[in-house]
Amino acid sequence: QVLLVESGGGLVQAGGSLRLSCAASGRTFNSVARGWFRRAPGKEREFVAAINWSGSSTYYADSVKGRFTISRDNAKNTVYLQMNGLKSEDTAVYYCAAGPAGAVLSRLEADFGSWGQGTQVTVSS
């Protein structure tokens, strides 16, 4: 089991920026793939971004492409989500996830075995 601890959520005005962090600890053998998901009010959880071990491959939902950037620092066992140009529709609980290498290709919740507790991001107009 991998323990994922998130930080960086909060309240920000539309057009602003936030950077989420997620540090992993414990057994990380199945933490090759890292990703971010989110659940907006009244909606199901959806894929946001994913990254492979080396950081050479990244994937984004169309709704955040060009605004969000996922990155990782393996020396710190930490993945980041830089969110720029935030919109009201970005308001959601954001979840960090970790899983085997295949999860970065499928971007399916079921393929990520470890999850963070979720952190609230609220974008106000």
Polymer length of the chain = 125
Q: Does 1 have pLDDT greater than 80?
A: no
Question: What pLDDT, on the 0 to 100 scale, is given for residue 6?
Answer: 96
DSSP, collapsed to helix, strand or coil, labels residue 48 as: strand
> Which residues are registered as beta bridge partners of 80?
21, 71
pLDDT in tens, 4-49: 999 999 999 999 999 999 999 987 777 899 999 999 999 999 999 9
Question: What pLDDT, on the 0 to 100 scale, is given for residue 26?
Answer: 86
Tokens 């936030």: give the residue. 18
Average pLDDT, whole number, for the chain? 95
Neighbour count for residue 88 (Cβ, 10 Å): 11
Residues 82/94, Cβ–Cβ less than 8 Å: no
Please state, in angstroms and rounded to a whole number, the distance separating the CA atoms of residues 104 and 112: 9
